[in-house]
Structure 1
């Protein structure tokens, strides 16, 4: 029987930490083998503020996923988000030495590396450099330049920037929990993989991921990511307002929001009342659902206004930047009743709730279809796609590996370091390693950065 490759997505959120282990079945759908959840006590607004608590939560989530699946988890694909993330647009160019030679990936790499040398604010690091479109000599708006002739190669870039210390803290927590980082990616991009179709990305779509501590935005147009932003508010501020406004404890406020909350106050009648048990023998509190909805409505309106401002800044009101597929809402905050209607009312754009279930195999646990798990499922997909790319290389010598599935990364590294002897190279025709994607290059750079920081 053929042994399948597995991957693990680790979503380090403000309210919860989720570890999800899975593989692809014969139909290319995700088969979830195990999932572990732990309350996140050391993260605030997507940023680690208690290393010890975060390590314990990661270990707890991973252990639960291991117990359910029966597999030992060694490396994970981790997402990064948080209020420290910002993005900017930048144009750059290189002049090629030989205009009679066709443009290849090395030229694009040189251009991207040049952007990585941009001077950032103190304490900031470039996370992703994403090419938008290219210009070769005087020819503009080129999507694919490889194979073309030209002396001057120019491109517009979407550059994602984050705080070095915040990124390093996430890496430190993962390593201290006894895990290796196989890949690291921006969380809005992972959520997009899980809930958006390629048609939506082509037509133009804004993904809004409302998490516990932050709300992430990713805008796609013509199949390319055009804009990203992190709003430092999420579901937690709604819970906090309910707690203060109704004078109840946080646990009760969260339950009220989830079970009875609505983003549209007009849906509730004045006489609809919920009774909350009092503390230690005190009288129960009576809260009208209309007041509850007013509190939720005010906070969600504030969040959506901020997100809509970012969508306007991208330029969606222009003909060129129009988002035909509208808005897709996901994340835990997307479960609030009547949120879709409120977002449509504020923005005037078509809106739907994004569920990660279209990528899941039949018979999967229904709870996994919840928008809460969109980021974790997306991270798992990123990990499996990377393994598929690596798996297209033939193993150098299966006898050298005790496990049924050889370690493709080790093989690539060994080729890179010329550890395969010349005799073996001549006797066997080894296919060249595929070019690394932008995200894989960033992962390698990030791991090197972490190692140097120790």
Structure 2
């Protein structure tokens, strides 16, 4: 099988690690070739706390995926999440030397560079700088300032911050698993790519990714990401509550939640009971489904209220910032029965469950099109985009190199007799001339630059 167009998304979660191998088919859809899933050991609330166990889990997931797809992988795109991620709003400006000149990429990069120099808390680093709207000489609500003229360029930014040590630990786990790190992506953004339509992003939507250890929130409006947050609660806290409330072991609590759990207690009758096998010859334990639903309900309401508080902090109640498309819930926790109805009841907003099937090829298994795999599908999509971008940049560089070499050949042909002496040392001449005419490096995002910093750090550490 050709490995050229094959990419891998690696979702390092609190409860599971998913490795997904995919490629783009002829219709522009994502074709999943193989998937590996293992229990996540060594990760707590999205943060690696045992590197050895995490490496073993990553290797197992990859071996499964490689076995299913009958292909070998070397590079992965990994997702970043966890309770250490936070975001803030920031405004900044630059004064341009010549107001008559049009604003170009360099001006916008200078402005973003300035934001990148913000002083953060010890151990934190800016990992994403996302411009919102621009202002040119006081004229506001400008989406694209390039081509305009002005002396003062300012912008509102959504700045995402994370613990540098946590991100390095994930990168180290991937590299020690024998893989190259192709890229890093914020998991809420990956999930959003997989389950949201462009119309929803334009209208205004909040995506809630309910994972095992954390609940990730990303808010879009006018096609731009406006707010991100990580709430340090997820499906695991619900399981823990069931375990404590019903005095059973964790494995039984998780099975109860998946098979019989409901976020809406009114759905269960008082006399509905499920019997749990006793431990080591003890009597079976009878559990009321009504009580089970009440335990789930109280914790689910707490998680939803925390998320809704973040949506209010963004300013959803202002007419201008209203999220017309409502809420999309995804992730493993979104499969809990009647959770959609509970979210609508608590927030008063339209809600749907987000499935990543819109971008997947038609013959994909229903299991892969589950909300549980939304992040992994999003990471595969991000890796495919990165691959296309790299190919385009390589072609542009090749084309420019070809044009430069043709120009050099013409210059050599037109040279006088005395200049032809230089022609004898053509190799060094071409090298010097090409170095001076070599195409400029393509503009890179701050996340790519940050990713390079992480790679440099790991290389030095070795």
TM over 0.5: yes
Q: Aligned partners of 2:94 and 2:430: how far apart in 1?
A: 36
Mark the CA change 1:355 to 1:250 in structure 2 (over 3 Å): closer, same or farther.
same
Which residue is equivalent to 2:402?
none
Distance 2:173 2:20 in 1: 17
Deviation at 1:338, TM superposition (A): 0.3
CA positional deviation for 1:106: 1.3
Contact 1:354–1:371 at 8 Å: present in 2 too?
yes
Could you list the per-position Cα deviations for residues 169-215 of structure 1 after superposition, in whole angstroms to 9, with x for gaps in the alignment?
Answer: 11111111111111101110000000000000000000000000000
Q: Quick one: distance in 1 between partners of 2:122 and 2:431? A: 50
Structure with the greater alpha carbon radius of gyration: 2
Provide the rounded CA distance (Å) in 2 between the counterparts of 1:373 and 1:394: 33
Question: 1:255 maps to what in 2?
Answer: 255
- Whether the 8 Å contact between 2:344 and 2:350 is mirrored in structure 1 is yes
Q: Which residue of 1 aligns with 2:53?
A: 53
State how 1:209-228 maps to structure 2 within 5 Å: 209-228=209-228
What is the CA–CA distance in structure 2 between the aligned matches of 1:440 and 1:148, rounded to whole Å? Answer: 27
Distance change (3 Å), C-alpha of 1:446 and 1:320: farther
1:276-327 deviations in Å (ceiling 9; x for gaps)? 0111111111101100000000000000000000000000000111000000
1:39 shift after superposition? 0.6
Shifted more, 336-345 versus 120-129: the winner is: 120-129
Please give the secondary structure, in 2, of the residue aligned with 1:188: helix
Q: 1:201 and 1:121, CA in 2 relative to 1: closer, same or farther beyond 3 A?
A: same
Name the stretch that deviates more: 246-255 or 431-440. 431-440
1:411 is aligned to: none
Alignment of 1:3-402 (within 5 A): 5-392=5-392, 393-394=394-395
Distance 1:227 1:218 in 2: 6
C-alpha change, 1:205 and 1:95, in structure 2 (3 Å) is same
State whether structure 2 residue 436 is matched by structure 1 residue 435. Answer: no
Length, aligned pairs only? 431
Report the CA distance between 1:397 and its aligned residue.
7.7
Structure 2 residue runs without a partner (length 5+)? 400-427
Paired residue secondary structure (1:320): helix
Quote the Cα distance in structure 1 between the aligned partners of 2:252 and 2:429. 65
Q: 1:438 to 1:119 in 2, by over 3 A?
A: closer
Aligned residue number for residue 401 of structure 1: none
TM-score scaled by structure 2?
0.89
Note if contact 1:103-1:147 (Cα within 8 Å) is conserved in structure 2.
Answer: yes
For the residue of structure 2 that corresponds to 1:228, the secondary structure is strand
Post-superposition offset of 1:68: 1.2
How far has the Cα of 1:151 moved from its partner? 1.4
3-state SS, counterpart of residue 319 of structure 2: coil
Which residue in the other structure is 2:455 paired with?
Answer: 447
Tell me how far apart the structure 2 counterparts of residues 152 and 47 of structure 1 sit (CA, whole Å). Answer: 41
**Shift of residue 98 of structure 1?**
2.2
Shift of 1:448: 3.2
CA RMSD of aligned residues (A): 2.1
Equivalent pair of 1:389/1:434 in contact (CA under 8 Å):
no
Conservation of the 8 A alpha-carbon contact between 2:397 and 2:439: no
Distance 2:71 2:118 in 1: 43
CA distance in 1, matches of 2:4, 2:72: 15
Deviation at 1:43, TM superposition (A): 0.3
**1:243–1:253 CA contact under 8 A, matched in 2:** yes
Q: Structure 1, residues 126-172: CA drift from partner, whole Å, max 9, x if none? A: 11111111111121111111111111111111111111211111111
Distance 1:314 1:38 in 2: 36
CA distance in 2, matches of 1:45, 1:397: 45
Conservation of the 8 A alpha-carbon contact between 1:394 and 1:431 = no
Q: 1:395 to 1:129 in 2, by over 3 A?
A: closer
Cα pair distance change 1:430/1:390, threshold 3 Å: farther
Distance 1:260 1:122, change over 3 A: same
